[in-house]
Amino acid sequence: MKLLVSCTVALVKRLKSDAFPSVFPWISTSTSNDRSVRQAKRSEAKGIVDSDSSESCEDMQANFPCDDDNVGNEIYYTAEPCVDVEMTVPNESMNVPSIDSSLTQTLTWPSLLSEQLSVENQFFLTLIKLRQHKTNFELSRLFNISETAVVNIWVTWVNFMSRQWREVKTFPDRDIVRFFSPHDFKTKFPSTRIIIDGTECPVMKPKSPIAQQSTFSTYKNRNTIKLLVGATPGGLVNYVSPAYGGSTSDRQICERSNLSSICDKGDSIMADKGFNVQDLFAPYDVSINIPTFFSKKEQNDWQKFLKDRAISSKRVHIERIIGLAKTYKILKAPLNITETKLASEITFVCFMLCNFKTCIIPETA
């Protein structure tokens, strides 16, 4: 057995340390690995510390391992300084030699040397991501950080803004809605509490066949997410539903929404012709203002025609608000896997940011 071990050791070929130049800081530039040199280094390190202080000597050996396996493989240390603070200050009465600055220098990881972004810059990075939908690589070059840091920052901020703004009461009372409604709206539809409409945002094609089926929209002929958006007659976005798959119908989203519970008795909801959900809101005494479904006999009824025309002229405001939210390019470009998981938060934040802009609905609308 001993003969076999000796033979295998003899057959091992070791690469010389000076066989190729090294550009890495964690590889030693010294070419001599003789035992005498290593012993000299150990004796020099031990001579710095007082012989009476055994603890300091142990710390020195711990911070500078000089075993045979570790020679020539120095790394960046994140531990405490190699010597005590008291020993780094020369004192004439103690006859302790001054220590070289290279021994007292504490090294850190290169990632810790870069400056962290301030809170303002993190918020600014998130707004750029939502508005321009720049790639993580481009944002990492603009802010001089890594791509992983970009993802961590904007995902954290999107979740933070979504949770904070959901705690705010964005569904105002009936009197406040009526006070800020345009004059023509008060005259023709005084009981309107909210105007709703559905919208879709594209997503990348998922790998799972079940996910492909649930997100495929026959209206857009691609994979999308669908959500329900509501606004007051004055132009305030006061309701944003969670994101659903593109195959979900408008009625299914209304069934899962809480509009029937947050509206008061006697209120009315203005919607498109596709929202035929009067039976869902009738038990709560909430009416639905939608265009009339004309039959062949009722095509000449001019009174219903004028009423439908008035509803369409007022309902178009929610489409304008959705178009304003689509100026955030993250809602127009296909969402990747990470962004699709945060689709509800991203869409909610983008629509809430529209409330900080100037109202696009004039007072005379």
Contact residues for 198 (Cβ-Cβ < 8 A; gap 6+)? 226, 227, 228, 229, 250, 253, 272, 274
- Give the pLDDT confidence score for residue 314 in this predicted structure: 87
pLDDT in tens, 188-213: 888 899 999 999 999 999 999 999 99
User: Which of the two residues, 103 and 356, has the higher pLDDT score?
Assistant: 356
Residue type for 203, please?
V
pLDDT in tens, 43-72: 777 666 445 445 544 444 444 444 444 433
As beta bridge partners, residue 239 has 230
Which CATH number does 170-356 carry? Answer: 3.30.420
Residue 294 has pLDDT above 70, yes or no: no
Residue (of 198, 252, 195, 251) closest to 220 by Cα position: 198
User: Which of the two residues, 11 and 202, has the higher pLDDT score?
Assistant: 202
Residue 2 has pLDDT above 80, yes or no: no
* pLDDT confidence band for 106 (50 / 70 / 90): very low
pLDDT in tens, 224-282: 999 999 999 999 999 999 999 999 999 999 999 999 889 999 999 999 888 888 889 99
**For the chain, how far is it from start to end, CA to CA, in angstroms?**
97
Residue (of 73, 64, 70) closest to 46 by Cα position: 64
- Give the pLDDT confidence score for residue 18 in this predicted structure: 59
User: Which of the two residues, 176 and 38, has the higher pLDDT score?
Assistant: 176
Output phi, psi for 4, to 5 deg. Answer: -65, -40
The residue-averaged pLDDT of 94-121 equals 51
Q: Is the dihedral of CA 155, 161, 164, 168 positive or negative?
A: negative
Percentage of residues of the chain with pLDDT beyond 70: 68
Residue (of 319, 317, 324) closest to 350 by Cα position: 324
Output phi, psi for 137, to 5 deg. Answer: -65, -40
Tokens of 257: 């929404």
Angle between helices 343-353 and 302-325 (to 10 degrees): 100
**CB atoms < 10 A from the CB of 195, how many?**
28
- Give the pLDDT confidence score for residue 297 in this predicted structure: 59
